[in-house]
Chain A
Amino acid sequence: MTKHRYLPMTDQDQKEMLDAIGVSTIDELFSDIPKSVRFQGEYKIKPAKSEPALIKELTKLAGKNADAKRYASFLGAGVYDHYQPIIVDHVISRSEFYTAYTPYQPEISQGELQAIFEFQTMICELTGMDVANSSMYDGGTALAEAAMLSSGHTKRKKILISSTVHPESRDVVTSYAKGQRVEVVEIPHHDGVTDLAALQELISDDIAGVVVQYPNFFGRIEPLKDIEKIVHEQKAMFIVSSNPLALGALTPPGKLGADIVTGDAQPFGIPAAFGGPHCGYFAVTNKLMRKVPGRLVGQTVDEDGKRGFVLTLQAREQHIRRDKATSNICSNQALNALAASVAMTALGKKGVKEMAVQNIQKAHYAKKALQAKGIEVVFEGPSFNEFVIKLPASYREINDRLFAKDIIGGYHLGLTYPELQDHMLVAVTELRTKEEIAAFVQELGDSHE
């Protein structure tokens, strides 16, 4: 039998165990697998590597990637390079957290349950909503679940979604909607924000929900107050996808009449990791508490009256309701919700605001510096940490030149908005220094001249 550091059985152990079972070989235990489907031999995959050899190989492989520790990144579009308090990784590396599973046994899972309860509270605080769940896969799938909730709740089969919502999130909403035979119609934008006149045209009493993003994909801050009026006049549900960091500085959607607020907590201590795992969040008004997908942690007492925490309102969920469940989701992103909680705790009441404001200020500074070099900013107006510029040359050319200067350029909007060929979505977070912004501006300015 193969020896391996993860496999503790010795030959002697195996012999004793086979005796106890009453068979003479391990192979006999597989005698119920018919010969016709038995796999013969070994997988044709790469041979095992020792720990040091594998570390060496994978270090080399990782080195082929240009990472944000070596390059100054102006790329955002839903995933951001932010300050990650170092303490976050120390907490989530505690293996009592990361080697546990869903807290089915509350007596030995109070740590995880309490951490999630705290996460739920922090999300409620930032969004201004009554109830938040324990987390979802990511912002995109959370938004799709929100759209499906609105359809289920209103018994209407049509969703309106603004074209200023993240294109990949819109794609995910469309895929989920197809599953449940819900129609999705896009609301065009006007000058980078949801076109209110078009929304007024499209809204009717057969619309389940209206989806907008705040701040939107172009970095612009949508006029939620005006949108809310139009949405609720027809008793549709108002769904807002929101960057939770921005809510440190912006009026929370909960104060502006949102029924469901979703988003991704990636800006709080979660690395970009090539797009995942991140951490979706899902928050609703009290009225919708029993319609929420995914896990919820609630406070209760034990037999001695001591405060404790449990998974609750499970009658909504797949393991009880099976085909009648509100969603098929079973897991959440517990470890990343923990990471986000630690980051939100470290930033705290003052830090989350300060960080949000720094983003607004630095993005504004970069925008002005680019304009001073003659670069055209399109969709100008109130914005968070991103804005759109018209490039003075082709995206490819500019991006390559930036890369040669150790800069990762912004997102090419032409990929998802054909009318915005050679337009760049530029993200400027609190981590971008004055020097890095100057180098970015310099390179674009040079291309302009």
Chain B
Amino acid sequence: MNNQDQPLVFEMSTEGRIGYSLPEMDVEAITLKELLPADYIRIEEAELPEVSELDIMRHYTALSHRNHGVDSGFYPLGSCTMKYNPKINENVARFSGFAHIHPLQDASTVQGALELMYDLQEHLVEITGMDQVTLQPAAGAHGEWTGLMMIRAYHEANGGTKRTKVIVPDSAHGTNPASATVAGFETITVKSDEFGLVDLEDLKRVVGDDTAALMLTNPNTLGLFEENILEMAKVVHDAGGKLYYDGANLNAVLSKARPGDMGFDVVHLNLHKTFTGPHGGGGPGSGPVGVKQDLIPYLPKPVLVKKDGQYMFENDVPQSIGRVKPFYGNFGINVRAYTYIRSMGPDGLKAVTENAVLNANYMMRRLAEYYDLPYDKHCKHEFVLSGRRQKKLGVRTLDIAKRLLDFGYHPPTIYFPLNVEECMMIEPTETESKETLDSFIEAMIQIAKETEENPEIVQEAPHTTVIKRLDETLAARKPILRYQS
């Protein structure tokens, strides 16, 4: 990364330069004045930059040098599954027959696209152990909301209008309670026990005839498998509630345990995590939702069906929760995920989880001597460490994260889950080599030693990045959210 400040593209603008090549105007050009009333016509031009094509390429190349991706280096951001993004996926998604088709074309002209979607749904049904899948939700949070709306529709159709509460563990992702709210539910928190798992007694206490659903990630955000899952499912089902599976951590259990076999009624997946749709700097993602038989009538419209060898969309779904997104989901991401699944096959997916779990356990054991390990048992695809030992020496987890930047690593997820003090949540993924893991471990050990011997170097990190720690308070207190000349 270079240390020069990169000007904003607006600051590079020079009147008279252009970076475009519009088609020739080959028909009679009538002036706007003759076509539109005067007050409809824009007077002040939008102040967009005026730059040449090379200016543009240099600008964004410079910006890319100021950005860390999986291709730049190790990215063990817990709960985000920052695995390698295969390049074949990018090529396939750009095939003209996938990239340049319109969602409202006649179904007979897009049979290839529909076949891919249908086959992806079938693959996801088998992988999750559910009965049917919709590809419509655009991202994980969108899938959560979709799933909860279906649960609400199910209860309302079955006389459960008083089921207004959704139970989430205290270790849950923040999206879970947020999605429950926007789906019209109230959130109840269930505690974790001393082993980091849902406290079964507390669950029994909060479950009741007002329970709509329990939302759960399994393995949970501590990277621990909820061993009592069948008992929990029974408690919730006996009370008339439904079980919701947040698929953020599916990378931990491919071919090892399926949500459908654990008693879950609804599942969302994050295709951009487990199935290598790239994270794109924060999206686009894709959040398909799978359901069991009794929730199928409530799936969002339209539903993709196959009749006499032809694929088509069915809009006549009377009990559907309606449309959750224009068109049919983030098709381009679904193409990438499909390509990945077909590249891996059943044995490949099994090896994915086995390696992801092996890597996480290896790192956890090697780091346990230097950092507190709050839950000392086999983890799944990720694990949490606590920086409380270092905190006593004046070094916070935030400092450790910033120091890791000097070694060229993206730090782990920090201060989450909320129930672990000074938390670091580390997810190596299966695509990293032992050499990479060892180098990261060495860096973490060095930071632990620095904390004891020379804490300033950690507290004042980062030292090598293009910019030092930023004043976030200033950003929030005096917001500057756009460029002004």
Query: In the bound complex, do residue A273 and residue B325 qualify as a contact, i.e. CB atoms below 8 Å apart?
Result: no
**Interface size grouping (class) on chain A:** 35 or more
**Which listed segment binds A: B38-46, B238-246, B384-392, B447-455?**
B38-46
Quick check: is B468 within 8 A (CB to CB) of the other chain?
A: yes
Q: Fill in one digit per residue for B29-70: 1 if any A CB lies within 8 Å of its CB, else 0.
A: 110100111011111011111110100110111111111111
Q: What is the bound-complex CA distance between A89 and B354, given in angstroms? A: 35
Task: Tell me how far the C-beta of B254 lies from the nearest C-beta in chain A, rounded to whole angstroms.
Answer: 8
Residue of A nearest to B111 (CB): A64
Q: What is the bound-complex CA distance between A403 and B18, given in angstroms? A: 37
For B361, give its contact among A7, A29, A125 (CB under 8 Å).
A29
Residue of B nearest to A224 (CB): B40
- The interface residues of chain B lying within 8 Å CB-to-CB of A72 are none
Quick check: is B305 within 8 A (CB to CB) of the other chain?
A: no
Q: A408 and B434 in contact (CB under 8 A), knowing A97-B280, A175-B324, A330-B139?
A: no
**Which listed segment binds B: A188-196, A199-207, A344-352?**
A344-352
Task: Tell me how far the C-beta of A188 lies from the nearest C-beta in chain B, rounded to whole angstroms.
Answer: 21
Query: In the bound complex, do residue A121 and residue B69 qualify as a contact, i.e. CB atoms below 8 Å apart?
Result: no
Q: A63 and B63 in contact (CB under 8 A), knowing A75-B105, A382-B36?
A: no
Residue of A nearest to B122 (CB): A45
Query: In the bound complex, do residue A54 and residue B483 qualify as a contact, i.e. CB atoms below 8 Å apart?
Result: no
Q: A38 and B257 in contact (CB under 8 A), knowing A350-B18, A360-B36?
A: yes
Q: What is the bound-complex CA distance between A148 and B123, given in angstroms? A: 35
Query: In the bound complex, do residue B71 and residue A29 qualify as a contact, i.e. CB atoms below 8 Å apart?
Result: no
Task: Tell me how far the C-beta of B80 lies from the nearest C-beta in chain A, rounded to whole angstroms.
Answer: 6
Q: What is the bound-complex CA distance between A271 and B333, given in angstroms? A: 13
Q: A118 and B358 in contact (CB under 8 A), knowing A112-B281, A408-B105?
A: no
Q: A348 and B49 in contact (CB under 8 A), knowing A45-B123, A99-B279, A437-B27?
A: yes
Task: Give the contacts of A399-432 with B (CB-CB under 8 A).
Answer: 399, 403, 408, 411, 430-431
Q: A30 and B357 in contact (CB under 8 A), knowing A247-B46, A342-B60?
A: yes
Q: Fill in one digit per residue for B96-115: 1 if any A CB lies within 8 Å of its CB, else 0.
A: 11111111111001111101
Task: Tell me how far the C-beta of B453 lies from the nearest C-beta in chain A, rounded to whole angstroms.
Answer: 23
For B86, give its contact among A6, A87, A346 (CB under 8 Å).
A6
Query: In the bound complex, do residue A87 and residue B46 qualify as a contact, i.e. CB atoms below 8 Å apart?
Result: no
- The interface residues of chain A lying within 8 Å CB-to-CB of B329 are 275-276
Q: What is the bound-complex CA distance between A78 and B325, given in angstroms? A: 13
Query: In the bound complex, do residue B32 and residue A360 qualify as a contact, i.e. CB atoms below 8 Å apart?
Result: yes
- The interface residues of chain B lying within 8 Å CB-to-CB of A307 are 5
Query: In the bound complex, do residue B227 and residue A34 qualify as a contact, i.e. CB atoms below 8 Å apart?
Result: yes
- The interface residues of chain B lying within 8 Å CB-to-CB of A29 are 357-358, 361, 378
Q: Which of B48, B57, B129 has the most CB of A within 10 A?
A: B48
Task: Tell me how far the C-beta of B353 lies from the nearest C-beta in chain A, rounded to whole angstroms.
Answer: 9
Q: A403 and B106 in contact (CB under 8 A), knowing A83-B22, A327-B178?
A: yes
Quick check: is B290 within 8 A (CB to CB) of the other chain?
A: no
Query: In the bound complex, do residue B102 and residue A171 qualify as a contact, i.e. CB atoms below 8 Å apart?
Result: no
Query: In the bound complex, do residue B255 and residue A43 qualify as a contact, i.e. CB atoms below 8 Å apart?
Result: yes
Query: In the bound complex, do residue B102 and residue A272 qualify as a contact, i.e. CB atoms below 8 Å apart?
Result: yes
Q: What is the bound-complex CA distance between A221 and B99, given in angstroms? A: 30
Q: What is the bound-complex CA distance between A57 and B65, given in angstroms? A: 36
Query: In the bound complex, do residue B331 and residue A273 qualify as a contact, i.e. CB atoms below 8 Å apart?
Result: yes
Q: A108 and B67 in contact (CB under 8 A), knowing A47-B346, A252-B42, A272-B100?
A: yes
Q: Fill in one digit per residue for B335-354: 1 if any A CB lies within 8 Å of its CB, else 0.
A: 00001011111111111101
Q: Fill in one digit per residue for A307-319: 1 if any B CB lies within 8 Å of its CB, else 0.
A: 1111011110111
Q: Which of A73, A105, A176, A345 has the most CB of B within 10 A?
A: A345
Q: A107 and B462 in contact (CB under 8 A), knowing A101-B75, A140-B326, A273-B331?
A: yes
Quick check: is A354 within 8 A (CB to CB) of the other chain?
A: yes
Query: In the bound complex, do residue A430 and residue B469 qualify as a contact, i.e. CB atoms below 8 Å apart?
Result: no
Task: Give the contacts of B257-309 with A (CB-CB under 8 A).
Answer: 257-258, 261-262, 278-286, 300-301
Quick check: is A295 within 8 A (CB to CB) of the other chain?
A: yes
Query: In the bound complex, do residue B482 and residue A51 qualify as a contact, i.e. CB atoms below 8 Å apart?
Result: no
Task: Tell me how far the C-beta of A383 lies from the nearest C-beta in chain B, rounded to whole angstroms.
Answer: 9
Q: A348 and B48 in contact (CB under 8 A), knowing A39-B256, A111-B63, A302-B471?
A: yes
Query: In the bound complex, do residue B96 and residue A67 qualify as a contact, i.e. CB atoms below 8 Å apart?
Result: yes
Q: Fill in one digit per residue for A21-36: 1 if any B CB lies within 8 Å of its CB, else 0.
A: 1110010111111101
Query: In the bound complex, do residue A168 and residue B178 qualify as a contact, i.e. CB atoms below 8 Å apart?
Result: no
- The interface residues of chain B lying within 8 Å CB-to-CB of A327 are 178, 182
Quick check: is A446 within 8 A (CB to CB) of the other chain?
A: no
Quick check: is B432 within 8 A (CB to CB) of the other chain?
A: yes
- The interface residues of chain A lying within 8 Å CB-to-CB of B472 are 300, 310, 312
**Which listed segment binds B: A154-162, A331-339, A371-379?**
A331-339
Task: Tell me how far the C-beta of A436 lies from the nearest C-beta in chain B, rounded to whole angstroms.
Answer: 10
Q: What is the bound-complex CA distance between A205 and B143, given in angstroms? A: 34
Q: Which of B106, B281, B346 has the most CB of A within 10 A?
A: B281
Q: What is the bound-complex CA distance between A158 and B233, given in angstroms? A: 38
For B354, give its contact among A26, A104, A302 (CB under 8 Å).
A26
Task: Tell me how far the C-beta of B284 lies from the nearest C-beta in chain A, rounded to whole angstroms.
Answer: 3
Task: Tell me how far the C-beta of A320 lies from the nearest C-beta in chain B, rounded to whole angstroms.
Answer: 7
Task: Give the contacts of A1-52 with B (CB-CB under 8 A).
Answer: 1-2, 4, 6-9, 13-14, 16-18, 20-23, 26, 28-34, 36-39, 42-49, 51
Quick check: is A110 within 8 A (CB to CB) of the other chain?
A: yes
Query: In the bound complex, do residue B27 and residue A365 qualify as a contact, i.e. CB atoms below 8 Å apart?
Result: yes
Quick check: is B425 within 8 A (CB to CB) of the other chain?
A: no
Q: What is the bound-complex CA distance between A349 and B433, given in angstroms? A: 48
Quick check: is A325 within 8 A (CB to CB) of the other chain?
A: yes
Q: A101 and B282 in contact (CB under 8 A), knowing A65-B97, A83-B23, A250-B40?
A: yes
Query: In the bound complex, do residue B284 and residue A365 qualify as a contact, i.e. CB atoms below 8 Å apart?
Result: no
Quick check: is A132 within 8 A (CB to CB) of the other chain?
A: yes
Quick check: is A69 within 8 A (CB to CB) of the other chain?
A: yes
Q: Fill in one digit per residue for A93-113: 1 if any B CB lies within 8 Å of its CB, else 0.
A: 111111111111111111110
Q: What is the bound-complex CA distance between A95 and B85, given in angstroms? A: 9
Task: Give the contacts of B121-178 with A (CB-CB under 8 A).
Answer: 123, 126-127, 129, 138-142, 144-145, 149, 173-175, 177-178
Quick check: is A296 within 8 A (CB to CB) of the other chain?
A: yes
Query: In the bound complex, do residue B284 and residue A247 qualify as a contact, i.e. CB atoms below 8 Å apart?
Result: no
Q: A79 and B355 in contact (CB under 8 A), knowing A100-B279, A121-B483, A249-B32?
A: no
Task: Tell me how far the C-beta of B191 lies from the nearest C-beta in chain A, rounded to whole angstroms.
Answer: 15
Q: What is the bound-complex CA distance between A315 and B240, given in angstroms? A: 35
Residue of B nearest to A349 (CB): B48
- The interface residues of chain B lying within 8 Å CB-to-CB of A94 are 60-61, 64
Q: What is the bound-complex CA distance between A91 and B253, given in angstroms? A: 35
Quick check: is A178 within 8 A (CB to CB) of the other chain?
A: yes
Residue of A nearest to B262 (CB): A37
Q: What is the bound-complex CA distance between A124 and B123, given in angstroms? A: 42
Quick check: is A234 within 8 A (CB to CB) of the other chain?
A: no
- The interface residues of chain B lying within 8 Å CB-to-CB of A225 are 39
Quick check: is B204 within 8 A (CB to CB) of the other chain?
A: no
Q: Which of B138, B322, B401, B474 has the most CB of A within 10 A?
A: B138
Query: In the bound complex, do residue B339 and residue A318 qualify as a contact, i.e. CB atoms below 8 Å apart?
Result: no
Query: In the bound complex, do residue B365 and residue A22 qualify as a contact, i.e. CB atoms below 8 Å apart?
Result: yes
Q: Fill in one digit per residue for B442-485: 1 if any A CB lies within 8 Å of its CB, else 0.
A: 00000000000000000000100111111110111001111100
Q: Fill in one digit per residue for A347-391: 1 if any B CB lies within 8 Å of its CB, else 0.
A: 111111111011011101100000000000000001000000000
Q: Which of B32, B352, B377 has the most CB of A within 10 A?
A: B32
Quick check: is A90 within 8 A (CB to CB) of the other chain?
A: yes
Q: What is the bound-complex CA distance between A109 and B66, given in angstroms? A: 6
Task: Tell me how far the C-beta of B240 lies from the nearest C-beta in chain A, rounded to whole angstroms.
Answer: 21
Residue of A nearest to B272 (CB): A331
Quick check: is B402 within 8 A (CB to CB) of the other chain?
A: yes
Quick check: is A434 within 8 A (CB to CB) of the other chain?
A: yes
Between-chain CB contacts (< 8 Å), 29 pairs: A4-B344, A14-B358, A17-B434, A20-B365, A39-B258, A45-B341, A51-B88, A62-B112, A64-B112, A67-B100, A100-B281, A118-B9, A131-B481, A137-B284, A138-B325, A175-B324, A250-B42, A251-B40, A272-B101, A297-B481, A300-B470, A301-B470, A301-B474, A327-B182, A333-B280, A338-B281, A347-B20, A358-B22, A364-B35
Top 3 nearest A-B pairs by Cβ distance? A275-B327, A48-B345, A62-B97
